[in-house]
Structure 1
Amino acid sequence: MMRLARTILILAAGGAFLAPLCALGHGAEFLSAKLTLLPDAEVLLEITADYGSNPLIMDEAAAREALADPVRLRQHDKLILLNSLGTARIWQHDNWADYAPAAYLPSGTEGEAHTLITSSWKWRSIEPEIVFEMQKGKLHDVLLWTQDETHPETPPRWMLLLAGDRSRPIPIQQTPWWRGWMAAAGAGGLFLLMGAYFVSRNFTFRQRTL
């Protein structure tokens, strides 16, 4: 019944792109997936489960199970496990404000402490854009939202992913080609200067010893 209500909410909103969203019930029934876009194609994905007063996630063990494989990264025709991108960092906290959009607050819990657990993965994207996909049969919906550290004035955008859904392509902040060229040229110039210095020093030393 709850999942049917969520589906109706999504259809009423016009698809996966949602306006400010409230969870049904007391706990946040969705996993909140914060994707932070960092310079030089680095991304940080932090997925949070609320297991306080949550009818779908009853305790810490269930929360950890939900976070073990919540979404996968699609690269061409392959689905990549998050844990293959690096070891997850997991911690418990009650700081909901930093791990969900400001407009996303479980209804009826404004004055309550949250019981949260977060898993995070950080990696450098080899693609100019990334796409996440949820496998079919997943119980926990994922609220995916982005925080662009390279353009902090840009407001977060989010979408709700259900089992079998695929996210829109998310552009990654790539390093400009000229920056890499300048770094290589700078390193090469430094190497030539050092080589010239040692050659000149060796030549001067040989003259003094003749």
Structure 2
Amino acid sequence: DLSPAELRDAHKDAFQLDTPVDPTNFNRRQHLYVVGNAANEALIDAIVYWKSQKLSVEFLPYHIYDVGGTRYFEFFSFPYDRHRNPSAVKGVLFDTDRSYDEDAIWEMMEKSRVAAYGDAKHVVQYLNRGDIIFFYHKGVGLVAAGEVRGPVKQDGDEEQYREVRFSTPVSNRQEGLARAMPASEITTATGRDFFWARTIKVPYLDREEAQKLVAELNNVLSTDT
């Protein structure tokens, strides 16, 4: 079990807060998330009814699908769509894996790829051709965006990647990261709260939301300092 101080620090890191939340502010309001199959219409109808009765509840549906003989388990993004096509273009905030390798970001930028490493390398398999990827650098923010162009490839034993075509300006190793969109601005621009502690930072964005964020990010990265 975590001590109050450890819980406060873990919460700060998970949500990329500038300052930790006072322990007395935890659990002031309770919110129920119900995890269920996206095809369970009876459950969805029940949750719609509960929400109409002012119960603080949200449905987190999942689906299981097969791609090339491999099965995948995926949660929908909010607001959920009962009939969402798993192959539909989505926007994904993808971590540059700074904790694994400080220079991983430069490999991605220089080689035009989105990559994952070590125990998390399989997460690139959750991406589809055409998905819009936002490169999130821990402690900095969004530093680039691009479109997935190629299949999953292996680079050694510890890396899997997909090729991307960048849709924004890209920083280089020599100049470093001069501009970025921090977590607070991402939340404001999308109206979403993301789970920052994961390599893939759910929820996903739909195509329209992703394209809007690309435009916002281009404005940030193109601004002279």
TM over 0.5: no
Q: TM-score, normalised by structure 1?
A: 0.28
Ranked by relative contact order (alpha carbons within 8 Å, sequence separation 6 or more), the top structure is: 1
Q: Highest Rg: 1 or 2?
A: 1
- Calculate the TM-score normalised by the size of structure 2: 0.27
